[in-house]
């Protein structure tokens, strides 16, 4: 993949609905590292991820990625796995995945293999509407595997996953880190990999 990546935020602030969620937040993340964003409910974990993904406009400060693809913006190099799975129930599992692979473009892996890795290869031809919450999450993880992006932004990624699913997800994260990727995850529980904590919402 790329060389050493360095994501750094300087003095980042976030205002939602007139309320200051956090301000002057500094953070760092490098290749091969998992940053676990922790804090109480409403401390702005999701907001921070959405700021990095370019889905929210920061109230101040800068977020830059060094060492990435110079032709691409930061959001274009990120995978965002939010609370919602971005799946269409009317399309089959394979159609959902291949749509995102085609639409997001860039370097990609074999879709069928990704589905096998997350344990959905038996269901490729079934409508995504038949899947349970945990299976939908697995299908979202298959998107992360199929389309290669160096930065993963994960919001409560282990929600809805069973124990086996969490183990599988842990090994996927290890592989991603070994390939030189980085992960920033908002979480309440353990992720199954070694993490560095970023505590937010303490100063309030």
Partner 1 sequence: MSLIDLANPTRFLALSARVLPWLAAATAILFAIGLYLSALAPDDYQQGATVKIMFIHVPNAWLSMFVWGVMSIASLGTLVWRHPLADVAAKAAAPIGAAFTFLALLTGSLWGRPMWGTYWEWDARLTSVLILFLMYLGLMALWRAVEDPSRAARAAAVLTLVGALNLPIIKFSVDWWNTLHQPASVMRMGGSTLDKSFLIPLLVMAVAFTLLFVTLHLAAMRNEILRRRVRSLQMMQASRVAFSGDVSTGSRQENASTGAA
Partner 2 sequence: MTPLSALIRRDIKIALRVGGGALIGVLFFLTVVVLMPFAVGPDLALLSRLGPAILWLGALLASLLTLDRLFMSDHEDGSLDLITMSRTPLELACAAKALAHWLAAGLPLIVATPVLGLLLNLDMVATGAVALTLLAGTPALTFTGMIGAALAVTLHRGGLLMAVLVLPLSIPVLIFGVAASQAAIVGPMTFGAPFSILCALSLVSLVIGPFAAAASLKHGLD
**Could you say whether residue 4 binds partner 1 (CB under 8 A)?**
no
**Could you say whether residue 82 binds partner 2 (CB under 8 A)?**
yes
Asked whether 87 and 128 are in contact (CB, 8 A), the reply is yes
Out of 80, 131, 135, 177, the only residue in the binding site for partner 2 (CB under 8 A) is: 80
**Could you say whether residue 118 binds partner 1 (CB under 8 A)?**
yes
Residue 160 binding target from partner 1, partner 2, none, CB below 5 to 8 Å by type: none
Point out which span in 5-13, 20-28, 36-44, 101-109 binds partner 2 (CB under 8 A): 101-109
**Could you say whether residue 157 binds partner 1 (CB under 8 A)?**
no
Out of 9, 58, 165, 201, the only residue in the binding site for partner 1 (CB under 8 A) is: 165
**Could you say whether residue 109 binds partner 2 (CB under 8 A)?**
no
């Amino acid at each position: 993949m790329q060389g050493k990546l360095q994501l750094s935020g300087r003095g980042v602030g976030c205002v939602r609905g007139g309320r200051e969620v956090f301000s002057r937040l500094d953070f760092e993340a490098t290749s091969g590292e998992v940053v676990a964003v922790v804090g109480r409910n409403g401390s702005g974990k999701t907001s921070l991820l959405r700021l990095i993904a370019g889905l929210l406009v920061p109230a101040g400060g800068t977020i830059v990625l060094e060492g990435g693809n110079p032709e691409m913006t930061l959001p274009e190099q990120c995978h965002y796995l939010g609370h919602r799975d971005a799946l269409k129930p009317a399309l089959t599992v394979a159609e959902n995945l291949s749509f995102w692979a085609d639409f997001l473009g860039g370097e990609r892996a074999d879709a069928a293999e990704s589905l096998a890795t997350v344990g959905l290869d038996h269901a490729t031809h079934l409508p995504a509407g038949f899947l349970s919450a945990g299976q939908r999450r697995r299908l979202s993880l298959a998107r992360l595997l199929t389309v290669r992006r160096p930065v993963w932004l994960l919001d409560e990624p282990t929600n809805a996953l069973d124990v086996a699913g969490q183990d599988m997800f842990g090994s996927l994260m290890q592989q991603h880190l070994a390939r030189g990727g980085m992960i920033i995850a908002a979480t309440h529980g353990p992720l199954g990999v070694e993490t560095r904590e970023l505590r937010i919402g303490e100063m309030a």
